[in-house]
Amino acid sequence: MATLARIWRHPVKGVGCETLDGAMLAPDRPLPGDRAYGILTGDTQDTGDWQSCRYFARGCYGPALMAVTAETQADGRITFRHPDRPEITLDPETEGARLVAWTAAMYPDERPAPRELVKAPSIGLSDANYPSISILGLAALDALSLAAGVPMDPRRFRGNLWLDGLSPFEEFDWVGKRIRIGGAELEVTERIDRCRATEADPETGQRNVNTLAVLRDNFGHVDFGVKARVVTGGQIATGDTVAFA
């Protein structure tokens, strides 16, 4: 029987991750607080709507960002940490410029510079243009680690819900099906194709594994995890069982 082993959210797209013990999911909404903000780069303007990931600061372009962790405080402020940068705590509603400057110091000079912290629309700022929650299997992570010859940190994949008790990549067979986790029901929509962000070690922010080549050479694809939409809202928590709805 599969169980929900870990819950992760990423308050700012591409910048920082934190763990949760539980969450209340709502229909057609992302995981609460996940990708609630994003840092636009270059001359990209905020439209108030969902925009493609290519317009935002992210680990694919700046691998150092993969080593950022986040901790949301009770008052809504967020603390960001990185092994090579001073810790910073700020209110994203009013102090976005501070986070932009902090991030820019780690971003490659050859890329369009981080410019503005913007608030996500109600559907969130995941890489999908609909309110998605990502689901990944720990067995797939183990299989990938074995193929790569090094332990693969789950933070490389910036996923939301990590499941234990599956066979490797079993979640791919769920596309088009509905599952129940705790009090919520989700419809699995598609597989997640991966980018170079996964090549960076989340401890250091340095690229050290050609993850895409390992996936392609050993499994015949560059996919890892699946996207899902919340159909019926409800409380989820680590330890919940996972079953077909």
pLDDT by residue (tens digit) across 211-222?
999 999 999 999
pLDDT at 1: 78
pLDDT higher than threshold 90 for residue 178: yes
Judge contact between 3 and 235, C-beta under 8 A.
Answer: no
Q: What is the mean pLDDT of residues 123-142?
A: 97
Alpha-carbon Rg for the chain in angstroms: 17
Judge contact between 31 and 4, C-beta under 8 A.
Answer: no
Tell me phi and psi for residue 97, to 5 degrees. -60, -30
Three-state secondary structure along 127-162?
CCCCCCEEEEEHHHHHHHHHHHCCCCCHHHHCCCEE
Q: What is the mean pLDDT of residues 85-114?
A: 97
CATH number of 2-244: 2.40.33.20
Nearest to 120 by CA among 225, 6, 1, 29: 29
Percent of the chain with pLDDT over 70: 100
Q: What is the mean pLDDT of residues 88-113?
A: 97
Output the six-digit token pair for 106.
């780690």
Distance linking the first and last C-alpha atoms of the chain = 14
* Residue 103 neighbours by CB under 8 Å, 6+ apart: 15, 39, 57, 65, 114
**17, 18, 22, 26 alpha-carbon torsion, rounded to 10°:** -30
Give the integer Cα–Cα distance in Å for 74 and 198.
Answer: 30
pLDDT higher than threshold 90 for residue 228: yes
What is residue 215's three-state secondary structure?
A: helix
pLDDT at 41: 98
pLDDT higher than threshold 90 for residue 20: yes
Q: What is the mean pLDDT of residues 36-61?
A: 96
Judge contact between 20 and 159, C-beta under 8 A.
Answer: no
Q: What is the mean pLDDT of residues 147-159?
A: 97
Tell me, rounded to whole angstroms, the distance of Cα 214 from its chain centroid: 20
pLDDT higher than threshold 90 for residue 90: yes
8-state DSSP, 174:
G
Q: What is the mean pLDDT of residues 52-79?
A: 97
pLDDT higher than threshold 90 for residue 96: yes
8-state DSSP, 40:
E
pLDDT higher than threshold 90 for residue 54: yes
pLDDT at 45: 95
Domain ranges of the chain: 2-244
Give the integer Cα–Cα distance in Å for 111 and 61.
Answer: 7
pLDDT higher than threshold 90 for residue 53: yes
